[in-house]
Structure 1
């Protein structure tokens, strides 16, 4: 069926004059958060001259196949227990069924970080269980997030195409294709990476976009991309040979290409996001800040919606496009706790999206619905396979937990424990050189260390450090260490400071002369109790992520005589075994002057 050509002037004029209004919350059997702040009329009923398509989306799932404890920050939404693949699948099917009942179609998409930083249930099998789960829930496309590169770009291609790794019975606590009768088939959905290119041939790592056809032949284009800053927050070896381009420039350049293919409805799946002023207002957009604001304001006006992620926030926003017209920008928290139901209204005459009649709602994935049977079977299979590893007791602590919450200086009890474990690990000793100081990135500490009746299992330890990073020892001069400490508060870390967790080193920092700045007190830095000497060379240890200059710590990349030791999780587990029972000490290594 042929559709008439769009009157571009009329369409752009309509977008530029569309009014911002509040939409009534749409329930569909799911809990909602009240008023939705977005571009939409008071009624959610589509016009008879329009086709309404439901875009169902999630982001930042991170392999959370089973729900987190409701008492944890990642196990609920404003006090309502939420998440879990079995419940997520049921809610998605309910939304699809409701759409079908109204003669409407649905497309299920995601905005990256489906895998990586995952619980042991998924990570122990290279996240193959999560890809299988996403296949079962009916995912159709996702952008590539930074954590999709945790095991390198070649492993990401395997996630798309399938195949098994030759890792025997589980090298490095992981086991690809644990069932010899069942090979890993890869993703049934499309991984999209519009702004990730091979440096040599300028081709994209994966498809830059996908086009979904509706039953009547109408097309919706999805452009997928990760954040441009990915090289600064992933292990260098995992992205070697790749380059990441500007999100806005990349997406805008693809708009004419999609339009030549007859696509008038365009959606960006972007693994970059923002932070609302009120994190509980997940279905509105109070005072949002962060990279997504400028990105959304500059994406081509022909792009009709932006589905985002990365910041693990829930929001439902209207941000004006370059033509001044409101455009939906959404995010669905993390770990499958929310689903965004974006109801895109397409004008049957022009094939263009009528934003004034397009609404979105973030819906809680509650746990008061039946579990999806196929997901339960999948989870039970991998639970049985991982049980011997997960339940092994590796030590005890004398408190209920060791907290990752930092004090005013930026130091935490758990950070100290991890840094001590790295410093004590013998695998990084080479040529008779033993590290005298250790540094751990706070973002790599993913959870508190929780004990059950005092016992710490390998599963609990892995929840804290799920990345299977290698420890790296290296030589740094005193001058380089001063630069390293300064980088906690400068450069990319000036706005949001990253205070490294340390062992073997003490120092004081204070507020700088310029408001909002901080600086390390020069004569306060000591290693092994002795003042730091600029010309002395010190042997230090960190993980391979920081060793490559990750998180803005370029001083690590200048280190010399680097030596790769064992895995950080093994060092952590071995330290707990050697110091059984462990009692958390004071946070007195970093002080504020």
Structure 2
């Protein structure tokens, strides 16, 4: 648990209390069920199972409260602590700017922001939370790696896998970003070995993940089998909890074609239901689904109680439909992908409430869920499930082993990462429908494109490719306003190229409509636009009509549907990614340098210590609400 008690704790409203009071509750439940009366029969029936289970799990028995096994005969109910987080994205150091803060709802209805995240603090919080909980398992909901800052991304995320091993992560699902470098690289992260082209970074061979990655719905097209384990069972002293891991079926739409080549992504619900039946046949009746797909809560506050009266629908988005259709055999859902924070119950197909959680992103939160295991049935007593998100505050001691790990990799990255590439006069945010940083990146890509072809007209940048803000406040080794290569890498870590293509005016307008229709209708993806392109986005309308066609102009002139325009995008968008199929239909493609190189070139050419870049005003898209 966090060292500092937060003023608003939704778990308390759900009836959670101190360890002592929870122990009292368990004693009362045991008495009500008649455990005392039948204890002798239970003892006669189960000792061989208990002894075998204790022995077979000795190699993975992480007590976190001491090495010794002080075995005593258990009662009927056993609380199992499930700690979880998601979407770490290799953020070992505290994230900068708004990416390193969470919003907290206060008792009077106001909110405050809290600085959060950093694996040195996450380790301390998780270790404190485990104290006194001998039945504790830690799971994650995918995107542990990928789109990572330079400290991890420069080394193909080996530092993050090492950190997760030290965190005692037990199991995780894959996410879409686990496929950024393809299935072969994902297999290396799981099994270990030096990078095939970069080799070994230290004098020790990379050993890979101590925990299993689960990919139940990711199949090899040739064999039809999952590329990694589909499920895993945690066992301790007769308690068994199965975990099934899936990523979103739409992963091919948001990952480069090379990353998912030779793979097939199956429906999340069908896959989970299939393996829930497999686990049940193996005698595992307590099941948790790790799903890299998420939803959108009504409030951005991490401690918003979406189950409280008047809270509305709790969470919307893809996970709501998934949760409503996943078999009742599954007892809880740990989710991710949307980087949102929520702890909600959604009825399963039988109408019974079931816990669905997400811990935001970048290690800013962790979720503490209590699963009450019934030893008689082998299932979770669903009415007793309690859960809450907790802030990874930075007011606790840093975990020394994590500090050593970060220092080791920082020493290797410093010669590259500390190189200055530009100067800014203030924070440049990535927040908003149109963001100042989005405009800056689009302008940088247009400038680079015009060096390749002076006829380039405009540039479009997907918001999901902007992974962090540029912050003015000094960090280690730099002065205020200096942008280092490491900071630029954190903003654009994907190594996409800047590609130029020809589109008709009609196609260009169709691209803008695809921001709010088709695959992007439920969750719009508003492209960031270069200087000169303007239009109105009317959010009072629905679907493609939200883009006001007559308002689309380039340098003040209406877009001519029959004319040809030279458009710069990153290579991911140029392949039709992120739900923009029309961008995959361009002609006369010209491939330029990497997007980070374009940003570096732009910052270097347009800023200095005496004349830093001002944040763009973000006034190219007029939003009507």
CA 1:152 to 1:352, structure 2 compared with 1: closer, same or farther past 3 Å?
A: same
Within 2, Cα distance between the matches of 1:191 and 1:324?
31
- Tell whether the 8 Å contact from 2:3 to 2:396 is kept in structure 1 after alignment: no
Q: How many residues align?
A: 547
In the other structure, the counterpart of 2:36 is none
Within 2, Cα distance between the matches of 1:38 and 1:295?
26
Cα deviation, residue 540, structure 1: 1.9
- Tell whether the 8 Å contact from 1:436 to 1:504 is kept in structure 2 after alignment: no
In the other structure, the counterpart of 1:9 is none
Q: 143, 155, 172: which is aligned to 1:113?
A: 143
In the other structure, the counterpart of 2:193 is 163
Cα deviation, residue 177, structure 1: 3.3
Q: 405, 408, 411: which is aligned to 2:431?
A: 405
1:353 equivalent to 2:380? Answer yes
In the other structure, the counterpart of 2:201 is 178
- Tell whether the 8 Å contact from 2:302 to 2:389 is kept in structure 1 after alignment: no
Q: 210, 215, 232: which is aligned to 1:210?
A: 232
1:135 equivalent to 2:165? Answer yes
- Tell whether the 8 Å contact from 2:245 to 2:289 is kept in structure 1 after alignment: yes
Within 2, Cα distance between the matches of 1:328 and 1:521?
41
Q: Which runs of 5+ in 2 are unaligned?
A: 31-74, 105-112, 475-479
Q: Map 1:312-461 onto structure 2 (within 5 A).
A: 312-397=339-424, 399-406=425-432, 410-425=433-448, 429=452, 434-451=455-472, 452=474, 453-461=480-488
- Tell whether the 8 Å contact from 1:115 to 1:130 is kept in structure 2 after alignment: yes
Q: Residue 449 of structure 1 aligns to a residue in which SS? A: coil
TM-score normalized with structure 2 length = 0.81
1:243 equivalent to 2:253? Answer no
Within 1, Cα distance between the matches of 2:431 and 2:127?
38
In the other structure, the counterpart of 1:16 is none
Cα deviation, residue 326, structure 1: 1.9
Q: Deviations over 1:230-269 (max 9, x none)?
A: 2222222211222222211110111221111111111101
Higher relative contact order (CA 8 A, sep 6+): 1
In the other structure, the counterpart of 1:144 is 174
- Tell whether the 8 Å contact from 1:36 to 1:316 is kept in structure 2 after alignment: no
Cα deviation, residue 340, structure 1: 1.7
In the other structure, the counterpart of 1:194 is 216
Cα deviation, residue 443, structure 1: 2.1
Q: Residue 36 of structure 1 aligns to a residue in which SS? A: helix
The worse-fitting range, judged by mean Cα deviation, of 524-533 and 377-386 is: 524-533
Q: Map 1:430-579 onto structure 2 (within 5 A).
A: 434-451=455-472, 452=474, 453-503=480-530, 505-509=532-536, 511=538, 514=541, 518-527=545-554, 531-579=558-606
Within 1, Cα distance between the matches of 2:322 and 2:292?
12
Q: Residue 483 of structure 1 aligns to a residue in which SS? A: helix
Cα deviation, residue 454, structure 1: 3.0
Q: Residue 315 of structure 2 aligns to a residue in which SS? A: coil
Cα deviation, residue 538, structure 1: 3.1
Within 2, Cα distance between the matches of 1:284 and 1:522?
40
Q: Deviations over 1:6-32 (max 9, x none)?
A: xxxxxxxxxxxxxxxxxxxxx685635
Within 2, Cα distance between the matches of 1:472 and 1:214?
54
CA RMSD of aligned residues (A): 2.6
CA 1:504 to 1:314, structure 2 compared with 1: closer, same or farther past 3 Å?
A: closer
Within 2, Cα distance between the matches of 1:166 and 1:513?
51
- Tell whether the 8 Å contact from 1:39 to 1:356 is kept in structure 2 after alignment: no
